A and B are shown apart, each in its own frame.
Chain A
Amino acid sequence: MSQLPTQGIEKIPDSTGYLVLTQDGAVISSGGDLENDEETANKISRLVHTATGIPVTTDRRDSFKRISIIWDDFMYVISVSSQKIFVAKRKYIPQDPVVT
C-alpha cells in the first residue's frame, strides 16, 4: 500500500487546517482553513529556510525538528520530514499552570 502524502496530519485534534509542501514551497496537499492557500505556503516555506540558518545548539549535526508559531488564539506547528514541510494550524489552548 502506498503511503498517504499527508502522513495523517489531517487527523490532528483541534486542527483547523493543514498543508504539506515540497522544499520549494509547492503545495502537495492541503485542507481546512489552509486549503489551496499558496500565499501562506510561500510564506511558511521562506520561514523554514530562515529557520535553518539558526543553530539551535552548538552541535552542527543538530537540526530543528519542530517550529511552533503561537498567537493568543491559534498556532502553526511546522515540521520537516523526508524533504517535505508539514504544517498544522491549530487552536491554541494554553494549559493552566500546575499549582502545588
Chain B
Amino acid sequence: MEKSLEKHLEETFKIPGVSSVICTDEQGLCLGLKGSCHANVAGPIATLAKQADQLRRTTNAPNPPSICIESEAGSVLIGKKDDITMAIFKSS
C-alpha cells in the first residue's frame, strides 16, 4: 500500500505549480508528504475535510465535497476518498 501511495504522491508532485502534496487518515495522521509543507498541517486538513462533509444535511450525498482554499499567492485543494484525505498545495 505504501508503495502505491508513494507513487501517487510522486506523480502528483510532478504536476507544474504543485509545491506540496500531503495525505492524511481520518484522525489527522500524516500518511505521506512531498514538498515544502510541514507534517503538522495533516491535523487541520483532516478536520477541515470532516467539517466540510458535515455541512451537507442530507445523508445521501454521493461524494464528499472538494475544498479549495485560495490566497493571493497560492491555493490548497483538498479531496477525500474512502478514509484518506489528500491536500495539494499550489503556488501561482
Interface residues of A (CB under 8 A from B): 40, 43-44, 46-47, 50-51, 53-59, 62-72, 75-76
**Known contacts A46-B51, A51-B48, A56-B89, A67 near B41 by CB under 8 Å:** no
Whether B74 sits at the interface, judged by CB under 8 Å, is: yes
Residues of B within 8 A of A72 (CB): 62-63
**8 smallest beta-carbon distances between A and B, as pairs:** A53-B44, A56-B71, A57-B74, A47-B51, A68-B68, A66-B70, A57-B73, A70-B66
Pick from A43, A54, A70: contact of B65, CB under 8 Å: A70
Can you report 15 A-B residue pairs in the complex whose CB atoms are below 8 A from each other? A43-B51, A43-B54, A50-B51, A51-B44, A53-B44, A54-B41, A54-B69, A55-B37, A55-B41, A56-B74, A56-B89, A66-B69, A67-B69, A67-B70, A71-B65
Interface residues of B (CB under 8 A from A): 19, 36-37, 41, 44-45, 47-48, 51-52, 54-56, 61-63, 65-76, 89, 91
Most chain A beta-carbon neighbours within 10 Å: one of B41, B55, B91:
B55
